Structure 1
Amino acid sequence: MGSTRRSFTPEYKANAVSLVLNDGRAIAEVARSIGVHEMTLGKWVKKARDEGKEPERPLNEDERAELERLREENKRLRMEAEFAKKVATWFAKDQR
């Protein structure tokens, strides 16, 4: 018996992956529209990402500002958590 497995050209795969990565469409949506199983397309997309074919785009001003704000907030929250640990330790020792 012959194989029922379909094969796809590299160009076909690249175009499908491009719809997900470049156009921002969902894997499920693209898979339905081209008649491929979601898991198959997901593997193609993962392989493309792992190979570094995903285009890197630089951060715009808003994203950069948010990144800086989040870094500062993260720094502050880490300090607060560390302080809370020290206070809890101090209270625990004081209770004995």
Structure 2
Amino acid sequence: MGWKDVLVPRPYPREFRDDVVRVARNRDDGVTIEQIATDFGVHPMTLTKWMRQADIDDGTKPGKSTSDSAELHELRRRNRLLEQENEVLRRAAAYLSQANLPGKGSTRS
């Protein structure tokens, strides 16, 4: 178990979130979000956020969908990797250009 396992809570499974949102949307009159959240062991604000995101994903409210967020996250990750690769190549090119200068470690006369 690493430090992340201790400090960062694991996300709830997608199916669980979907089920809790479905129950909250279909709740009887007089049943509060707080009651449903408590029954499922989540914080009421967490359930409120899940419901808001579900509305966005369903297209009933404007905002960034879950799939858009995942794609953006993946693109940012790939961009960081490419930037790191470019930096390595830039440094390698600078090193090699210095190594090939006459008088700088060259054995030619």
- More RCO (CA 8 Å, sep 6+): 1
Instruction: Kindly name which structure, 1 or 2, has the bigger radius of gyration based on alpha carbons.
Output: 2
* TM, length-normalised to structure 2: 0.43
TM normalised by structure 1 equals: 0.48
